[in-house]
Amino acid sequence: MKYNKIIILSIIGLAFASCDTEEFLNPLPDTAVVADAYFTTDASLLAGIMGIYDAAQGVNENTTTSITNSNRGVQFEYLFTEHRSDNTRSATLEGSKADFHRYLVDPNNVQSEDYYESMYQIIFRANNVLNFIGVANPGNQAKYAAEAKFLRAFAYFNLVRLFGDVPLVTEVVGALDNEKLFTRVPSAQIYQQIESDLKEAIDNLDNTHKSRASKAAAQGLLAKVYLTQDNRNYPGAAQLCQDIISSAKFALQANFRDVFYKELNPEILFAIQYIAGNTQESQSFSSEFTSLFRQGREDGLNIVNANLISDFTKFGGNRTAVSYVTFGTSNEVAKFLPEGSNITTSPPTYGPNARNAGNDWIVLRYADVLLMHAEALLAGGAETTNAAAIDSYMKVKARAGFNPVTDRPAVLTKEALLVERRVELAFENQRFFDLVRFGVADAVLKAHAAEMGYGSYDARKLLLPIPAREINLSKGLLTQNPGY
Amino acid sequence: MKQKLIYYRKMTLLFLTAFSLMVVSSCEKYFEFELPEANSKTDTVLPKADFSFAPDAKDFQTIIFKNLSFESTKYLWDFGGGKTSASQDPAFTFPGEGTYKVTLTSSDANGASNSITKDVRVVDLFVPLAPAILNGDFEAGAANWSFSSFTGGTTSPFNTSGDGSWLKYDGADNGAKTKGAKWTKETSAGAYKSSNTRYAYQAIVVSPNRKYILEYEYAIKTEAEQAGIAPGGNRIIGGILDGHFADGAEAISSYDKAPLLNHVGTKVLGKTVFTTVKGEFTANASGKVGILIYGVTDVDAYLDNVKVYPKK
């Protein structure tokens, strides 16, 4: 009996000792990283940089299904940028993934929260690497810093376009430094940070890699930043695109299909890599884009809208057959079919391991740069006769099978450029941002929502809600976007 | 006894009912006022009005408002001039360019409200196309000024000449003559119209339905320099065709019927003393128009520095 008492007492004591009340009562927010003593050598810092790419890559949903244990990186991005545009929708109305195309996202939406966390994972890992940049070999320091800053700019550019004003953290901060972690900073200031980070990347990187940051990728991303920020810089964007074109290091693939099925081909400026069959390095979106013969966890995502199909019919050329496939009444994305797929047989086959697909995620490719070049020369106008702008536009159109002479317009209009981007870059997470950048998002999506019967749409839905969990952790510092 | 008891019960029931009814009716007021007091919290999160706005893509005068208010359910927009709206995200068409004060009052169901007034600038930001005129200074001779075919005529547009304007294309003084275009009696239209009549033509693209200026310089030799006056006077005629034309004959017939601009220049000031013409025209719905210039003259007449630009 007495013995028992001792055991009970010691167990209670143990419980107290193991429970650090400070940490228990103040859980670490997702947007913080604990600096540790890992970084001591050049090699460990390089591993740290790979860790930033890992945050962008995310963890396959099929590897860890728990939504709280892993972030998905860019693997959910299509939900915010394709589903929330007039391009695609979910096959069913079940689950929070089906909220995006109907503009029903609320602050508790797990995918939106996951993306917010993923982007801040990139930012905090980058800040951490920058904090320890001194341990790298002196010859590598500028290069490593530039690489980390490129990725930080990439994450902030995604955040500011989807969530509006967000907290700006550019150094390693403590978990309790709420002012820094939760104070929303005006987007103009965030764009300044993005610009300075990308300029540093341009100055210190070369074009060695495609799956890692490069000079051209930074130039292309900065061009898009210049075309997007409130205070547009059209001459700056035109110059950056011209620099990429003049470098002659990139070229359009003759066959449109090769863009997607020859990894890191000459058209790619920057892609996030995945490895097929590897649970740690594969992605789930390829399987989620199937529906009638579904391979994914859901009933089918990124299902192509009739509205986009009609644009494909008119402007798609030979891109149409590569971009999507029709099974019965189901129109499905075909740009990212898993390894070993054969959609010409009936029923189609999707290879041995569709859920652990290895298709890279293309962030930036040369056709996008050419169309941005035309956009920069159009300079916000409704139309242009500028020959260089029409040349760049026609290079993309000619690859799609249009005649470079007879199909060449005398005047390039904003509408023609927007629809060209739509069919060239369909399902590549560009459409939503294009609509916003061209200043037609509200008009186009209002009409689209009316056509599809999505009654919840209003102009405030162009920004996603700040995740409720972040607001709760902020103790009243973080404010919500209007309309949520 | 039993009868009495039943009566007693009935009476009690009656009284009870009447009493409880009385209680309920007399307490109605009391309850009504007490309920909100008990356990109800004051609303400390009050409405905050805010909005943004952007012009409609098709009509700059129509402004689309985006309501960015918090904690509000009712909205009142005041666009000035007695025009209001109660919808959440209204669109309003202002009478014209200018700066207008727009007030949004957002209120909640408790009647708390908040207002914000912003200056809404309505301005036409449309930038019309500036068409590129090829070889507008004639330094490259007759290049870019010919019809591709001409039924019953010649595609040769004019005689090239070294007696153009002293001004360069950008308006700067060259200090000497530049190259120009020339018409003579043999290449004239009007009373001298023949298969050798020459017309300068160039197809251009402008913004549909917008106002543009056609500008050029011309000079006609004086009587002292060369004798002869064509029927109707020596003149250089310049204007804008409604459309693009492959065949010159079709173009001339269209021009004679319905030109978008027709200017007849009759100032006779002498060789290399140029007169500048600025003619205004409104583009057609397609934006495809053509420049047409020709001469009707007994004496040598010259043309230089042809420009088309949007009217400011």
User: Three-class SS of residue A156?
Assistant: helix
pLDDT of A26 = 61
Q: Is A23 exposed, middle or buried, given 0-12, 13-18 or 19+ CB atoms closer than 10 A?
A: exposed
Smallest Cα–Cα separation from B301: which of B284, B278, B280, B277? Answer: B277
Contact A435, A441 (CB under 8 A): yes
Query: Cα separation of A394 and B20, whole Å?
Result: 88
- Local confidence band at B34 (pLDDT 50, 70, 90 cut-offs): low
pLDDT tens per residue, range A226-257: 999 999 999 999 999 999 999 999 999 999 99
Contact B158, B200 (CB under 8 A): yes
pLDDT of B16 = 72
Smallest Cα–Cα separation from B286: which of A383, A176, A3, A86? Answer: A383
Residues of chain B in contact with residue A408, where contact means CB-CB under 8 angstroms, are none
Q: What is the mean pLDDT of residues B296-305?
A: 96
B64 inside 8 A of chain A by CB:
yes
- Looking at the predicted structure, is the pLDDT value of residue A114 above 80? yes
Which residues belong to CATH 1.25.40.390 in chain A? Answer: 1-205+454-484, 210-273+360-438
pLDDT of A67 = 82
CB contact (8 A) between residue B64 and residue A381 = no
pLDDT tens per residue, range A393-450: 999 999 999 999 999 998 999 999 999 999 999 999 999 999 999 999 999 999 999 9
- Looking at the predicted structure, is the pLDDT value of residue B186 above 70? yes
Please, what is the average pLDDT of chain A? 93
- Looking at the predicted structure, is the pLDDT value of residue B45 above 90? no
pLDDT of B132 = 85
pLDDT of B130 = 86
pLDDT of B44 = 84
Contact A216, A250 (CB under 8 A): yes
Query: CB count, 10 Å around CB of B201?
Result: 25
pLDDT of A277 = 95
pLDDT of B9 = 73
pLDDT of B23 = 54
- Local confidence band at B37 (pLDDT 50, 70, 90 cut-offs): low
Query: Cα separation of A213 and A223, whole Å?
Result: 15
For B51-122, CATH gives 2.60.40.10
- Local confidence band at A68 (pLDDT 50, 70, 90 cut-offs): confident
Q: Which of A378, A385, A437, A444 to mutate to test the interface with B (most CBs of B within 10 A)?
A: A385
pLDDT tens per residue, range B240-273: 999 999 999 999 999 999 999 999 999 999 998 9
pLDDT of B300 = 95
CB contact (8 A) between residue B205 and residue A482 = no
Contact A177, A236 (CB under 8 A): no
Residues found in chain B: 312
- Domain positions in chain B are 51-122, 159-310
User: Three-class SS of residue A364?
Assistant: strand
User: Got the DSSP string for A297-357?
Assistant: SSS-SSEEPHHHHHHHHHHTTTHHHHHEEEETTEEEE-TTPPTTEETTSSS-EE-TTGGGB
A482 inside 8 A of chain B by CB:
yes
Q: What is the mean pLDDT of residues A308-327?
A: 97
- Local confidence band at B59 (pLDDT 50, 70, 90 cut-offs): confident
Q: What is the mean pLDDT of residues B13-32?
A: 60
Name which residue leads in pLDDT, A315 or B26. Answer: A315
Q: Which of B127, B133, B286 to mutate to test the interface with A (most CBs of A within 10 A)?
A: B127
At CA B136, angle to CA B132 and CA B138, rounded to 5? 150
B132 inside 8 A of chain A by CB:
yes
Name which residue leads in pLDDT, A166 or B208. Answer: A166
The partner residue sitting opposite B287, judged by closest CB among A411, A439, A480, is A411
**Lowest-pLDDT range of A232-246, B7-21, B218-232:** B7-21
A440 inside 8 A of chain B by CB:
yes
- Looking at the predicted structure, is the pLDDT value of residue A33 above 60? no
pLDDT tens per residue, range B80-92: 999 999 999 999 9
pLDDT of A30 = 59
Residue A14 in tokens: 């143990």
For A210-273+360-438, CATH gives 1.25.40.390
Please, what is the average pLDDT of chain B? 90
pLDDT of B22 = 58
pLDDT of B58 = 81
CB contact (8 A) between residue B54 and residue A382 = no
Task: List the single residue in B with minimal CA-CA distance to A410.
Answer: B205
CB contact (8 A) between residue A459 and residue B131 = no
Residues of chain B in contact with residue A382, where contact means CB-CB under 8 angstroms, are 126-127, 207
CB contact (8 A) between residue A482 and residue B68 = yes
- Looking at the predicted structure, is the pLDDT value of residue A189 above 90? yes
Give the distance from residue A98's alpha carbon to the nearest chain B alpha carbon, in angstroms: 25
Residue A297 in tokens: 């966890």
pLDDT of A31 = 55
pLDDT of A345 = 93
Smallest Cα–Cα separation from B74: which of B37, B115, B26, B35? Answer: B115
Topology of domain A1-205+454-484, CATH: 1.25.40
Query: Cα separation of A234 and A377, whole Å?
Result: 7
Peptide bond between residue A107 and the one before it cis (omega within 30 degrees of 0) = no
pLDDT of B112 = 93
The pairing of beta strand B62-67 with beta strand A341-342:
unpaired
Residue A445 in tokens: 């999506």
- Local confidence band at A106 (pLDDT 50, 70, 90 cut-offs): very high
User: Got the DSSP string for B56-122?
Assistant: -SS-TTEEEEEE--BS-SEEEEEEETTEEE-SSS-EEE-SSSEEEEEEEEEE-TTS-EEEEEEEEEE
Residues 6+ apart with CB under 8 A from B217: B165, B167, B274, B275, B276, B277, B303, B304, B305
Q: What is the mean pLDDT of residues A123-140?
A: 95
Portion 372-401 of A in contact with B at CB < 8 A:
380-385
CB contact (8 A) between residue B64 and residue A442 = yes
User: Got the DSSP string for A71-104?
Assistant: --GGGGHHHHHTTTTTSEE-SSS-SGGGSTTTT-
Of all residues in chain B, the percent with pLDDT exceeding 90 is: 75
Residue A80: what residue type? F
pLDDT of B6 = 66
User: DSSP alpha helices (H): ranges in chain B?
Assistant: 2-37, 248-257
CB contact (8 A) between residue A442 and residue B69 = no
**Lowest-pLDDT range of A2-6, A322-326, B222-226:** A2-6
Q: What is the mean pLDDT of residues A12-17?
A: 50
Name which residue leads in pLDDT, A25 or A253. Answer: A253
pLDDT of A29 = 58
Separation in Å, CA B301 to CA A29, A45, B158, B217, B271 = 83, 79, 11, 11, 8
Contact B157, B146 (CB under 8 A): yes
The partner residue sitting opposite A381, judged by closest CB among B64, B69, B127, is B127
Contact A363, A272 (CB under 8 A): yes
Residue A343: what residue type? I
- Looking at the predicted structure, is the pLDDT value of residue A263 above 70? yes
The partner residue sitting opposite B66, judged by closest CB among A381, A385, A460, is A460
Q: What is the mean pLDDT of residues B146-175?
A: 94
Of all residues in chain A, the percent with pLDDT exceeding 90 is: 88
The partner residue sitting opposite B129, judged by closest CB among A385, A442, A460, is A385
pLDDT of A66 = 87
- Looking at the predicted structure, is the pLDDT value of residue A21 above 60? no
Contact A40, A135 (CB under 8 A): yes
Its CATH architecture, for the domain B159-310, is: Sandwich (2.60)
Smallest Cα–Cα separation from A399: which of A355, A433, A431, A367? Answer: A367
pLDDT of A352 = 94
- Looking at the predicted structure, is the pLDDT value of residue B99 above 80? yes
Query: CB count, 10 Å around CB of A2?
Result: 5
pLDDT tens per residue, range A140-183: 999 999 999 999 999 999 999 999 999 999 999 988 889 999 99
What are the CB-based long-range contacts (under 8 Å, 24+) for A99-107?
Answer: A101/A454, A102/A454, A102/A456, A103/A449, A103/A454, A103/A456, A103/A457, A103/A458, A103/A461, A104/A456, A105/A461, A105/A464, A105/A465, A106/A465, A106/A484, A107/A465, A107/A466, A107/A467, A107/A468, A107/A471, A107/A480, A107/A484
B131 inside 8 A of chain A by CB:
yes
